[in-house]
Structure 1
Amino acid sequence: MEVFYINSSVMFIQKGSNITSQEQTVFEQCKHIPTIILFYLGLQFVNMFLGIPGNVMVLWLLLRNKRDSSTSDIFILHLAILDTLFCLIPPLELVNIVYVTTSSTWYVLRFFYGIKDSSPLFLSCICVDRYIAVVHPLTFSALRDRWHRAVCVAVVWLITLAYAAAKCMGNILNFAKTFTVMILATFAIMLFCNLSILSALRKSAPARDEMHPVKKKAFRTVLLILTIIVFNYLPPVALFPFQEYFPQDVFLCYIHYIAFGFMDISSSIQPMLYLCKDISCSRSCCCKSCADQQTNTDDVSL
């Protein structure tokens, strides 16, 4: 039996032993546990209805406030573009999972899945940028106005498009392991950077109650970001390295959809978090200290 993985959704085609399986939709092949697919599709439509307006709003705010932008905004901007593209696919995905048996339309979906798979690369750039700002402020000051962030963005997009094109082909042997390695590496980077930021902020005062209000707010914000990173990316990190230990139908119809459902919903959570931070700052701008607060927290909050 030959199995083709299509990442955020799966259509597995059996050759030779069972020709009729090629005429079944993904939903029919997983009809023994349909609840998981319905759960996954529900999350995808949440992404469409919340993620598209949320990410468009983030793009609008970033482009409007260019003069007051932080160093990480370039990464947030391109992450919002990536997530907006991904949030467009739920209608096509629904049709392909529930109704369509042909494999031709999956080429489009595989390309968009490849784009979403690479989103942790931009998140890692954001985390590294803020890690340097908090833990190594002198180095950050020296690099603040350099062009290296634009170069990083270009490199990430080259990797993203190359990865998406390779996934679109769908015929590269053991290509699924590339995603496993990438998600493990980026998760480790994000976890290290955020824990280091929390540790640095925590050590900035003898006791948490004595911490400066601005630093206390930054501490809580980074703690929230860390929680969301773990919530969104821990399931694929914890499950995918052990996929060989699961029965094939359980992994393809159950584990796969749960892991990517939690990861994909980040396309809605990330812009909502950014917008909540922006609204909070806008309200505090009524106070005289808002400008100072924004300057101190831009590099450690999403």
Structure 2
Amino acid sequence: MYSINIILGLPTNVYILWLMVTGAVGTMASDFFALNLTVCEILYCLSAVLNYLNDYLFNDTLGVGVAFFMGFISIGRPLFQCCICVERYLAVVHPVTFLKYKPLRYRVGCSCLCWMVVLGFSMLIALVSTVLSNMIIFLLLNLSLWFSIQLFCCLTVLWALKRPGPGEGEREGEGMNKIKLRAFRIISVIMVSMIVSYLPLVLLLWVTVSCDSG
């Protein structure tokens, strides 16, 4: 798993980051949360080196470092994904509010707050990593929260895209033009990917907590 992260994950995310940074300024604003998500993924991929060393040296300090970087994947990834989903939700369901907070400075401020949360909770994970039960409960609450928000946003956006826009009527057969149909398919793929990624882990953690309490 560590080798896959380094060999496949690291080059892919670095390439994605390069495409975003060298892209047009206009796309930088719309993909700002995705850029932060990519940085978070790169930092986690680099932490595979600590995992290798910890497997062979069994050093307590390295173990804490490994637990700290776990926060980037268990907290950072769902948090920035959640920001992307909320942004798309506002753009589709509440376009006036989206246009009000569309300037890049709002995304920068939100991203700074998210990084503070990621770093703070990563330190917390490193502290409670020695107590397995605390670690499981913490991850369960975290994943359940972000999973619920993302699922709500995705389902709401899909429902809104299904409805015909003003003046569209039923001209497209399903009340959805080609642009909406493309967005509908993309968001459907994202939602399925999210369910496959998070739902089994959330259920596994729930079962683990239930067995421990029983």
TM-score by length of 1: 0.62
2:91 equivalent in structure 1: 133
Counterpart amino acid of residue 187 in structure 2: V
CA-based RMSD of the aligned residues comes to: 2.4
Gap runs ≥5 in structure 1: 1-40, 248-302
Larger radius of gyration: 1
Q: Residues 47 and 161 (structure 1 numbering): CA distance in 2 closer, same or farther, change over 3 Å?
A: same
Partner of 2:41: 83
> RCO higher in 1 or 2 (8 Å CA, sep ≥ 6)?
1
1:235 corresponds to 2:164 = no
Alignment: residue pair count: 205
Query: 1:70 Cα deviation (Å)?
Result: 5.8
Question: 1:223 pairs with 173, 188, 195, which one?
Answer: 188
Question: Where is the helix percentage greater, Structure 1 or Structure 2?
Answer: 2
The residue correspondences of 1:112-131 to structure 2 (distance < 5 A) are 112-118=69-75, 119-131=77-89
List aligned pairs for 1:155-174, cutoff 5 A.
Answer: 155-169=113-127, 170-171=129-130, 174=134
For 1:83, the aligned partner's letter is E
For residue 202 of structure 1, the aligned residue among 150, 156, 162 is 162
Contact 1:72 1:130 in 2 (8 A): no
Query: Residues 232-271 of structure 1 correspond to what in structure 2 (within 5 A)?
Result: 232-246=197-211
Q: What SS does the aligned partner of 2:134 have?
A: coil
Q: 1:254-294, CA deviations, whole angstroms, 9 ceiling, x for partnerless residues?
A: xxxxxxxxxxxxxxxxxxxxxxxxxxxxxxxxxxxxxxxxx
Determine if the alignment matches structure 1 residue 107 to structure 2 residue 64. Answer: yes
**Higher mean C-alpha deviation, range 140-149 or range 77-86:** 140-149
Return closer, same or farther for 1:49/1:209 CA change in 2, 3 Å cut-off. Answer: farther
Deviations 1:157-201 (A, max 9, x none): 011111111222335782442221111110001001011111111
Deviation at 1:146, TM superposition (A): 6.0
Cα displacement string for residues 9-63 of structure 1 (whole angstroms, at most 9, x for unaligned residues): xxxxxxxxxxxxxxxxxxxxxxxxxxxxxxxx3xx43232221111111111111
Q: 1: distance between equivalents of 2:155 and 2:28?
A: 21
Query: Normalization by structure 2: what TM-score?
Result: 0.85
- Once the 2 structures are TM-superposed, how far is the Cα of residue 91 of structure 1 from its aligned partner? 4.4
